Amino acid sequence: MFARSRFAFRALPLVVAAACVALLLPVAHAASAALATQAGFRQMTVTASSADDKPAHFALYYPTPDAARVIPMGPFPQTVAINGAPESKVKGLIVISHGTASTELGFATLALALARNGYLVASVEHVGDTWQDQSMRATPGRYFAERPRQASRVIDTVLADPQWRARLALGAGGDERQPLIGALGHSAGGYTVLSALAFGRRFAAGINYYGVADLETLAADTHKFESRYLDGLVAPLPAGRDVYRARSPVHHMAACRAALITFQGSDDQAVPPQQSRDIVAAARAAGCPVAYIEFAGEGHGFRQAPNIVRALECELAFLGRVFGYTPADDVPTLEIDNYAALRPAAG
């Protein structure tokens, strides 16, 4: 998850993401053939909230009736309509948080599938934690505070633009009706999702792939290569134990009201399965609608094509249940604990 400066480990998230793209391309093309809607694409600039904010961008995907074509974007060719006209309404906003030392284009195929199913998708560039720039790790304590803040800035930018805010579906709740927003992330991106749900109330749904829930237990349980890496990202233990607890979502889920689905590999040594099991238990105890899927034989980053496809299908099923829509594609039946607590979308 938190790779050191060796090139092989810094490049790993890009390799994994590229592999996922290759595996899912047939599924994505089949979906696009079945759907009249295509995916539009725009590169957006994040609105700075302070003089200290670095320039940042995010990739915006959305449903469009315009024709799409294959556009090379580094190692991630995408079938999109660049600056296509957006549909008049979208089902909700999904914010994607990439993993350590990756890119906002790393989960393009996932973003395309969501856009073709009617969602507005903002894929965050985590400045200071990309494949080109790991400066976020230079200051102890900044890493786990800054990632959720960057995701929040992207949401602010989208909602500040009238053309996008007007298209977003609203949740139910009278005067408290707000745009329906979900968060999705893998690894460090999964932590970003869990942190957003634990410490904020902006999200109706979270999709977490093997994200860190408890930083202190991770320091003890992860593989030896990363066992002392959190000293620099958070604080040395045991002196910094209070900081670890303060930044760990598992200890702060009591106020969470969002729905959460978590995906985990049984053989993950970087973020052991107990991390996911604990956050699911904490969310369930808080009364949140929760679903948990653990894939046997998978590690940190899924490799088996059937599991990758099933996870994507479950994401669509989960979002459909939470946001009150029937997915355009056939999706599996999904068991959600505390299902009665779901807040329906407004009509």
Check the CA dihedral 318-323-324-328 and report its sign. Answer: negative
The total number of residues written for the chain in this structure: 347
CATH of the domain at 260: 3.40.50.1820
More confident residue, 104 or 206: 206
60 sits in which H/E element: strand 57-64
Query: Does 139 fall in a domain?
Result: yes
Q: What whole-number percentage of the chain has pLDDT above 90? A: 52
Strand ranges inside 136-256, DSSP E = 181-186, 205-209
Query: Does 347 fall in a domain?
Result: no
Instruction: Quote the domain boundaries for residue 185.
Output: 7-341
- d(Cα 128, Cα 134) in Å, to the nearest integer? 5
- d(Cα 133, Cα 129) in Å, to the nearest integer? 6
pLDDT one-digit tens code per residue, 117-176: 999 999 998 887 878 777 777 666 677 788 888 999 999 999 999 999 999 988 765 435
Q: 């903002």: which residue's tokens?
A: 122
Query: Does 1 fall in a domain?
Result: no
207: which 2 tokens?
Answer: 């999709």
Cα-only R_g, the chain? 19
Query: Does 286 fall in a domain?
Result: yes
pLDDT one-digit tens code per residue, 180-212: 999 999 998 999 999 999 998 899 999 999 999
- d(Cα 90, Cα 236) in Å, to the nearest integer? 45
Query: Does 2 fall in a domain?
Result: no
120 sits in which H/E element: strand 120-124
Strand order, beta sheet including 181-186: 69-71, 78-82, 38-45, 57-64, 120-124, 93-97, 181-186, 205-209, 259-265, 290-295
| Backbone φ, ψ for residue 207 (5° rounding) | -120, 110
239: which 2 tokens?
Answer: 């002196």
Query: Does 30 fall in a domain?
Result: yes
Residue pair 126/99 in contact (Cβ under 8 Å)? The answer is no
**Model confidence, pTM:** 0.85
90: which 2 tokens?
Answer: 């979208």
Query: Does 227 fall in a domain?
Result: yes
- The number of distinct structural domains making up the chain is 1
Query: Does 346 fall in a domain?
Result: no
Residue 75 — very low, low, confident or very high, per pLDDT cuts 50/70/90? confident
- d(Cα 27, Cα 275) in Å, to the nearest integer? 30
Relative to beta strand 78-82, strand 38-45 is parallel
